[in-house]
Amino acid sequence: MQIGVYGSGYLGTVVSACLADFGSPVSCCHEDSSRMVEMSQGKVPFHEKNLADMIRRNVRSGRLSYSTDIDAFARKAQIIFLAEDANDHLASLCKRIAAASQRAPILVVMTPGLVGASSALEASLKEAGLKATLVTQPTFFTAGCAVEDFNWPDRIVFGTSSSEAVLALKQVFHPLVMRGVPVIVTNHETVELLRVASTAFLATKISFINEIANLCERVNADAINLSLALGLDKKIAPRCLQPGAGMGGLFAETDMDSLGKLATDHGIVMKVLGAAREVNEDLTGHLISKIAAAVKSIQGTQVGLLGLAFKPNTNAVEGSSALRLAEELAVQGAKVRAYDPVAMPNAKLRLNGQVLYCDSAYSAVEGVDALVVGTGWPEFRSLDFDRIKHLVKRAIIVDTKNLLDGPRMRAIGFEYVGVGRRDVAQGRAAGAP
């Protein structure tokens, strides 16, 4: 069965590569010819763990190809996944594909859209006299682990009234179905709401553990052990229970905006969502207070910031707490030296010269008054902290992700401050009055 994926951005690149890796022939299409050539060479314009190797492997095997001819693409593929990052031209694209297809295609909408968008799209195709079966399928993978999330999903959800389309898609996702991944079939509106509701729930979970971490600092509790114990409860689960994390990613803010507007339009006040977003926005202020308490005055302070991406294994900076931290430190008069393994080009577009970018973690901490861990890159754990101790001006570490071994850092001679953990070296909660 020939599968088509339309889209050259984040979604299209990930979906086309992962589907080809299932063993089916996949054609990825977009009108941007330079982008298609780059993708065929495995040149991915964003960092996503294992993705470039997967693309090159499937191009070599002949399972994955790239095209700019939409009409030929539409005639060849029996199932087409519409996977652009934005839905600005989705209606016209569906009509063009349906008109060019030799048979009524199965169009699977993965592009994020408002609740009701797919039903409206079905109506527009019918009004134009075009035949196509429309399926809505949400994506639940996140930047940095998209390949893993695609290959090991918790569930597969289809929004459609067509049993034939469901059977065809189960064949596409056969490796997952045979593994026992649950398949849920419902209507378009449920699927569209599910996607944004999932984002909002994760935001709530993240904000909750951050508030608990704040409390832990005041009552001599350890947020790391507490979150571990919470996560082992099957009703709660461990993912997204890390103190210090913020809610970020390519679609996070737009998803929550969309859900909030939908609720308002229908006379519903989303109190929990509003509170979760408020806590997420306050995270930067809380982290700034920790740094200020450690260095006494931020004005004129040299800060070495390790990490700018919103999470490890991605160069995405949308919603990054590290990026907001860099911005606020600069506003308050600090001189920020920053390093990130892959996210500095994207960060430069946002920070507008507010920080000095360094070519290594060691360069970033040279002569600083405080070392701040902004992103939990695993490689930062293996840095030579004995060397760093001699590079910094003041031996202070503020670890906003609880990445490092606090007792070891103190043994080396650092004043170490984590999140949600009592600073035993000072005998008080870091950042607390």
3-state secondary structure 268-326: CCCHHHHHHHHHHHHHHHHHHHHHHHHHCCCCCCEEEEECCCCCCCECCCCCCHHHHHH
Contacts of residue 312, defined as CB under 8 A and 6 or more positions apart, other chains included, come to: 144, 375, 376, 377, 378
Answer whether 77's CB lies under 8 Å from 4's CB. yes
Mean pLDDT score, 244-264 = 86
Q: What is the pLDDT of residues 318-347, one digit of tens each?
A: 889 999 999 999 999 999 999 999 999 999
More confident residue, 352 or 54: 54
pTM: 0.88
Q: How far is CA 149 from CA 100, 247, 409, 428, in A?
A: 33, 18, 34, 40
Q: Please report the pLDDT score of residue 433 as a whole number.
A: 41
The yes-or-no verdict on residue 427 having pLDDT over 70 is no
DSSP state, 428?
Answer: B
Which residue has better confidence, 77 or 354?
Answer: 77
The yes-or-no verdict on residue 426 having pLDDT over 50 is no
Mean pLDDT of the chain: 92
Query: What number is the average pLDDT over the span 16-41?
Result: 94
The full set of domains in the chain, from first to last, is 3-186 (3.40.50.720), 283-417 (3.40.50.720)
pLDDT confidence tier of residue 358, bands split at 50, 70 and 90: very high
pLDDT of amino acid 423 = 56
Strand partners, 28: 5, 66
Report pLDDT digits (tens) over 269-290: 999 999 999 998 888 899 999 9
pLDDT digits (tens, 9 = 90+) for 109-141: 999 999 999 999 999 999 999 999 999 999 998
Q: Are 173 and 206 in contact (CB under 8 A)?
A: no
pLDDT higher than threshold 60 for residue 151: yes
Q: What is the pLDDT of residue 143?
A: 84
DSSP single-letter state for residue 339: E
